Structure 1
């Protein structure tokens, strides 16, 4: 039978899965990129918490492996794998939304409107060849500058993504170290509790022995005091009524 700790952890994970499902449904209705980014950050935090709970579920399952029957262990392992699969689906969905959000933020090509094209056609009809060449060179320069700005934005986005990935990796490693330290502390507390119980039993045994020794010492002291106070204590054979009976004598009758 599963322990109460496993049931509690499973309930917390189910609550997070419901929150993630509702959060992604809400994300589909948000149009503002900034709000979408904040919503993704909140969902990412929930996924980190869910990952931590699944690890805790796995540790508790390993501790109870020898207590549960094989069918129960198999059921719990399948449940853990199902939770991992569901979490991975939300992680993939989060990556998809994050990629779409980055594509919206970086607009590499900003084409002119139809009215602007018609205006350029009308202006070109009134220009000389040299003016057309100068205007074409100017447009090419502006296009090159726009491409350079777009490349700069792409590089900045890549740098930000790299820094974010490094920060997430460092935080994940830190969380793993903290979890391992908590496991070590929990194990040390269990060992300390067992040691305290053993010391308590040893102290109780020592107290019994000391009590018996104390009684023996008190008895010896009492005997010594009695001997000192009444040194002329009569032998038991001198006390009337306690002397052993005298041996019977055999009479020898002479036959004359």
Structure 2
């Protein structure tokens, strides 16, 4: 019966799963490490793998603590398998630690070789400088030291100037960015105002259009009335005896009053 076939509490299962995940990550990391040629990248990747090993060591301690805390509640067979699993994890972790040591030693040897190669030409120059210094007097040595100190002070001053210029450029850049930010805020506000104005203008145009349509209808109606009146007047002029026109209010002749009838009768004009 394997450890997966026996029941563990949820805490132990979680710890065991995290340890196995870290072991898989370590295996993949060491496989990829062989393909990395750059020494700096190898060193950085070794640091990451070392961090995972520390995490595995911590988790194994927690796993062992859980075993001891639940030892009285678990059957002997489960306790034995849990301890065996812990030992196997410790052995696997030690194998990764050995691999890390091997890679670290190889990486250190490569760096030493590069330093030796780079120091070859400078070693000759140092030897020549030592020969020149041995032939110089004390005063010459003091002067040379002062000259070197002066050059160092000048280099420091130049570095300070560069730093000051960098700070000034950074300050100007910050001010420029703040001004651009404020300008962008103003542009956004102006765009909002323009959009509001466009909406109001659209509403006003619609209202004007409706008013013009209404006015147009009224004008057409008035024109029709005028045309009708003109037509009636024309017909009245052309045919004044038209009875239909007399029936139209306002166009029929006035009804004779009693006084007018007497007047017309006296004159013999009444018809």
Same fold by TM-score, threshold 0.5 exceeded? no
* Higher alpha-carbon Rg: 2
- Give 1 or 2: higher helix fraction: 2
